[in-house]
Each structure stands twice: as C-alpha cells, then as structure tokens.
Amino acid sequence: MGILFIVMATVIASRNLYLYSTELSVGIYLDNYTNNSVTNEKFVVAMLIGGGVLLYWGKFRSRMDANYDDVRM
C-alpha cells in the first residue's frame, strides 16, 4: 500500500510539473509547495510521507508476525 501511495504521488507531481511548465513556469509550480493555500502539491508531500510511514510500518509488522509464528510453534 505504501508503494502505491508513493507511485501515485510521483504520477501526480510529474503531471502537475508538466502542466505548469508548459503553460506557466516552473517557479509557479515550486511556489505551490511553499504558499499558504492548500494545493495539490501539498497533498503530494503528504502522500509521500504517508507512503513512507506505511512502508516502515509494513516492514515492522512483518517482522513482528514472523517472530510471533516462531514463538508459537
């Protein structure tokens, strides 16, 4: 699930970069990451962080499950 979040965030970020760079400038695209309004680019950052947390949690969880099975047998 974490990989899906990271891949989708990358797709959204590259789509926005393409759309902004063809019509406007890259500066406006980068400004959307730092301005005060809620923008699609900020959701990209949140999705990347969420994907990283899910990946970390999944790795931690799989270790816990493996240890539990070893103890139970």
The tens digit of pLDDT for each residue in 13-36 reads: 888 778 777 767 777 777 777 888
Give the chain's length.
73
The more confidently predicted of residues 38 and 21 is 38
Report the distance separating Cα 17 and Cα 19, nearest Å.
6
Three-state DSSP at 3 gives helix
Contact predicate 51/3, CB 8 Å: yes
Backbone angles phi, psi at 50, to 5 degrees: -60, -40
| Domain that includes residue 21, residue range | 2-72
Q: pLDDT value at position 63? A: 61
Could you give the C-alpha distances from 64 to 1, 33, 53, 61, in angstroms and in order?
A: 18, 37, 16, 5
Domain count, the chain: 1
